[in-house]
Chain A
């Protein structure tokens, strides 16, 4: 009798804790982003959209200002009609919801809030709120039911908080697993600080919001919280929301830190796409000399610097020290982009012969396993278009045939073989032209000394997307088997991973442009005082000399900066690049590896150390340091995946995801499925998807 009673109680308990019923219990792996406007109007949408795009996460945007949320928008039967969760064949269209604004006033009506909340409850879908006022709103008509309540009471506002992580144990494997929780996170934009109410006020569906802050101010106020909507008769929350009351934007560092979790939380860690943190440092011009900046003259004065064998030995030990000092650096290696003309006995004489008497060449060969190498052309020749007419004055020599340009590529491949540098075949597919030339037309103005009247020599450039690239370079690259071509993100239309389709290169395939980040560690400096002087000349003194106010010019300095300040600013910028999840390398020059003091310090390793130090203050994720050809391969895979239509359905009953695409996608990154690589406590798989459906087990990695 007692046993029967216990069984009945257990059954009743099961019924009440598993409610509501779900016939198919399935959702598509896709995010619903509810925005207040288009990207041009909605700061939050402009913030989260590039994050989703970079990670390759499918999403749909509902503009609450112009569109109504309808049942058909949220869930559909196999016939494509609106349906309810308890109906057979009904699949939720989203496995996560992101709101760019907390109250969506005036676009969202109480009825739309009810619809959205019911969807979240019935399909067990989470919500992440990027920013806004922590509203509590009731219907204006009696009985004045509360339809929106984040369980937070306003406390203060400000735009300068140092907040600390206070992630409860229950979420330690689920929320912000990737951040360094030991350090405060500076908040530099407007935020509403709140206190959790945790009272017994109920929403109209009977649920009560319980708030657990994840980020708190010095006064113990909450800026980021998890809200669990509990019903008295249920042990599992009816809904779960991650709410930020901090203004977020793509140009803010704290927003970069928080971005991933909005996606990860909303999707419960199961989504198409993935993110990794990357850092690569390309050191251009190996075997060449670089002109040197003269602080006394505020210009180059004909002095040059070329690395020595001793510099290379020093670099090997500095690289080992960097790895030892920074746990996230792993097996970090520098990439040398080299010009073989400087490594042979006579670049004019065929066949080429390696110059083993040169201590730099000998040191590179002896230490080759410590580095990676990239083809930077044989002589660093300019690949820009020839002037029209051909005899017009030009600051640089130009090529008039694709064959001559091809010879620059292949001669350097020969030097690769002569020096027996590693991974030659893989790297034959990659090219960095001298100064990224050939991707825009400089119109023959390159030397400031020859054009004293021009304040900005780039003012007359014809950009890549305006027809400025040299078709002869693209033809030469195609015939030499080059697949990936480096570009400079600071140049117009070169800050996009893109196939170069708009220029005829005579081949069936298109070259893929791989952007690289420039830094303010200039090519013509070897020590801090040189760098400080040139930096302050370019960003401050040059404007003063011209009678202009540098403070009024974008991105200039209002006062001169010290080396330490410059390094801090550069490291902060580089970390932002890393936190954008793209794979783009930063590029430097061989001068930056010169030892400038008796401790073997170099500008390059000062930068790397500053970047890793800053990164590790914020993040704990290992940093990926990929060879350039692999960056190219992964970029090509991402572009292919982004161009496909992926259908993915997560059946919660079987806990499996079914994947299907409209074309072959050999490498689709998916987070939260069993198998694959463990990264930041989550599984990231590289899955082969095609037009035939395949299923995979879900593993959210909550026990790792």
Chain B
């Protein structure tokens, strides 16, 4: 009787720990699946963005006016920078933007 009781207890312990282990495994598997799906989704988003950038560039190369437009934009941001300084604020972001579009203009002219 006592032996039976011990065996039953052991069985119960094993079955509980077994159930708990399966649930944990299932949870871990689900989390891993979610993580894999997220990784795949992130990779697809990155690929999609790269594709967009390839086409942005390709289409920009067909825009004969872009170098001039980018130059004008840069000039406009330099004027804005002056205005920001007059207003007592920091013109750095706008000067950076001007430099960015000057570079874009030069690159497109080549």
Contact = CB atoms under 8 A, between A and B. Distances in A.
A in complex with B: yes
B93 interface: yes
A43 interface: yes
B58 interface: yes
A577 B73 CA distance: 26
Given A133-B80, A555-B58, A253 B72 contact: no
Contacts of A572: 48, 51-52, 55
A186 B65 contact: no
A435 interface: no
A493 interface: no
Contact of A569 (B54, B72, B94, B97): B54
Contact of B45 (A157, A162, A250): A162
B76 A569 contact: no
Interface string B5-18: 00000000000000
A565 B65 CA distance: 29
Contact of A186 (B48, B66, B72, B73): B48
A491 to B, nearest CB: 14
Interface residues on B, range: 35 or more
A40 interface: yes
A157 B93 contact: yes
Interface in A273-297: none
Given A188-B52, A253-B56, A569-B54, A40 B69 contact: yes
A249 to B, nearest CB: 8
Interface residues on A, range: 35 or more
Interface class of chain A by DSSP: loop
B63 A251 contact: yes
Contact of A133 (B54, B62, B77): B77
Contact of A36 (B49, B63, B72): B72
Interface in B25-83: 45, 47-49, 51-56, 58-63, 65-66, 68-70, 72-73, 76-77, 79-80, 83
Interface string A155-198: 00101101000000000000000000000101011101000000
Interface in A565-591: 565, 568-569, 572-573, 576
A43 B70 contact: yes
A112 interface: no
B49 A186 contact: yes
A108 to B, nearest CB: 11
Contacts of A106: 79, 83
A40 B65 contact: yes
Contact of A555 (B61, B73, B79): B61
Given A133-B94, A188-B49, A251 B56 contact: yes
B38 to A, nearest CB: 13
Contact of A252 (B56, B61, B62, B65): B56
B109 interface: no
A105 B78 CA distance: 10
Interface class of chain B by DSSP: helix
Nearest to A39: B65
Contacts of A140: 86
Contacts of A43: 66, 69-70, 72-73
B45 A184 contact: yes
Contacts of A37: 72
Given A36-B72, A188-B49, A137 B55 contact: no
Contacts of B61: 554-555
Contacts of A186: 45, 48-49, 52
A36 B45 CA distance: 35
A42 interface: yes
Contacts of B60: 249, 251
B101 to A, nearest CB: 7
B93 A42 contact: no
Contacts of A233: none
Nearest to B110: A552
A614 B47 CA distance: 12
Contacts of A250: 63
Given A188-B56, A253-B56, A568 B69 contact: no
A316 interface: no
A42 B87 CA distance: 25
A568 B83 contact: no
B72 A573 contact: no
Interface string B77-108: 10110011011000001101100110000000
A260 to B, nearest CB: 19
B49 A103 contact: no
B55 A46 contact: no
A221 interface: no
A41 interface: yes
21 contacts: A39-B65, A40-B65, A40-B68, A42-B72, A101-B76, A105-B79, A105-B80, A133-B80, A133-B84, A133-B93, A157-B96, A186-B52, A192-B93, A247-B73, A251-B63, A253-B52, A253-B56, A554-B62, A576-B59, A614-B48, A617-B48
Given A105-B80, A184-B45, 15 more contacts: A39-B65, A42-B72, A43-B72, A133-B94, A137-B87, A157-B93, A159-B100, A162-B45, A186-B49, A250-B63, A251-B59, A251-B62, A253-B52, A569-B51, A569-B54
Interface of B: 45, 47-49, 51-56, 58-63, 65-66, 68-70, 72-73, 76-77, 79-80, 83-84, 86-87, 93-94, 96-97, 100-101
Pairs of residues from A and B, 7 with the lowest C-beta to C-beta distance, nearest first: A251-B59, A41-B72, A43-B69, A568-B51, A554-B61, A186-B49, A106-B79
